[in-house]
Structure 1
Amino acid sequence: MTEVLFYHLQNMTVENVLPPLLEKSLERGWRVVVQSTSPERADALDAHLWTYRDDSFLPHATWRVSDVADQPIVLAIEADNPNGANVRFLVDNAALPEDAQGYERMVLLFNGDDPDALAAARSTWADCKTRGFEVTYWQADERGRWQRRN
């Protein structure tokens, strides 16, 4: 069964939250697709993942490279699965793909300070519940540690 995790971002950015979550995914041996909503945003995330920390490296590429199928992390804007990922991250209000049940895990990062993003996340939550997915909601505590909420 597909597990869908909703990460409610408040006073934090995708750029701060995404790299550690990707690192954990790779540590677990997962292949990942990160879906954003525009080529410009995907390019910005691509640049950020190369430079977010001096002592770390996240092997990744965009959907444009010829060896996309070999990449452990692919930044994409379409709903396809070019590297056979078992985990898909959705950022910038990217829509849940039709084949969501084909993933072990979906991770939706949404800006809790943006009313449109909040409404989209609520709609996606309802859709996931209807489809029988296991859904969990995560919010950072005052120290920035993620806590599962009910």
Structure 2
Amino acid sequence: MPDIWFYHLETTPLDQALPDLLEKVAQKGWRAYVHGHEDDKISALNDRLWSYRPDSFLAHGREGDDLEGHQPVLLGTSGRMANKPQVYLSVSPTDLPDVSGLERCLIVFDGNDAEHLTWARGQWKQLKATGADLAYWKQNDRGRWEKMQ
């Protein structure tokens, strides 16, 4: 079972926080699969990754693209993880696929969305009951991540 880290968004919206998280994944040489349950959300994140900063580029693609299996970052709604990632990122309240064999699972949830927050709390309780190695990261007032004990 991978390390499972929960990221509680409070001050920064997902489309601004996700590029930074994905850059950290890429710095480790890992591939990532970003899983959402709404195609509109995945489309918006795809657009954002092309334009989040003018001086950088984060190679990525979407499920269904010809080269989906070769993408360092793959965005999708199926949970298939066709790019064989080391890191799975959940960005919507959706069933987690089998993440065994991965290095890390990141559950990124919006603290201002009651449904997403309730879902994340349920995931925490369920995973804790299985003995999974969990960590909880919360944004401070400046939007920086702080690991909570």
TM-score by length of 2: 0.95
Residue 145 (structure 2) pairs with residue 149 (structure 1): no
**Structural mapping, 1:48-127, within 5 Å:** 48-97=48-97, 99-127=98-126
Give aligned-pair identity as a percent: 36
3-state DSSP of counterpart to 2:118:
helix
Asked if structure 2 preserves the Cα contact closer than 8 Å seen for 1:96 and 1:124, the reply is no
Match for residue 134 of structure 1? Answer: 133
Provide Cα deviations, 1:13-63, integer angstroms capped at 9, x if missing partner.
101110011001001010100001122211111111000110010000001
Match for residue 41 of structure 2? Answer: 41
Structure 2 residue runs without a partner (length 5+): none
3-state DSSP of counterpart to 1:101:
coil
Q: Which amino acid in structure 2 is aligned with residue 24 of structure 1? A: K
Asked if structure 2 preserves the Cα contact closer than 8 Å seen for 1:129 and 1:135, the reply is yes
Q: Which aligned runs of 4 or more in structure 1 are off by greater than 3 angstroms?
A: none
Larger CA deviation: 45-54 vs 111-120? 111-120
3-state DSSP of counterpart to 1:100:
coil
Distance 1:113 1:47 in 2: 23
Query: CA shift at 1:12, angstroms?
Result: 1.7
Asked if structure 1 preserves the Cα contact closer than 8 Å seen for 2:11 and 2:141, the reply is no
Structure 1 residue runs without a partner (length 5+): none
The CA RMSD over aligned residues, in Å, is: 1.1
Distance 1:116 1:16 in 2: 20
Distance 2:77 2:107 in 1: 14
Q: What is the number of equivalent residue pairs in this alignment?
A: 149
Q: Which amino acid in structure 2 is aligned with residue 119 of structure 1? A: T
Distance 1:2 1:10 in 2: 25
Match for residue 29 of structure 1? Answer: 29
Query: CA shift at 1:90, angstroms?
Result: 0.5
Q: Which amino acid in structure 1 is aligned with residue 146 of structure 2? A: Q
Query: CA shift at 1:109, angstroms?
Result: 0.8
3-state DSSP of counterpart to 2:115:
helix
Provide Cα deviations, 1:90-123, integer angstroms capped at 9, x if missing partner.
00223221x1223211111111122211110011
TM-score by length of 1: 0.94
3-state DSSP of counterpart to 2:74:
strand
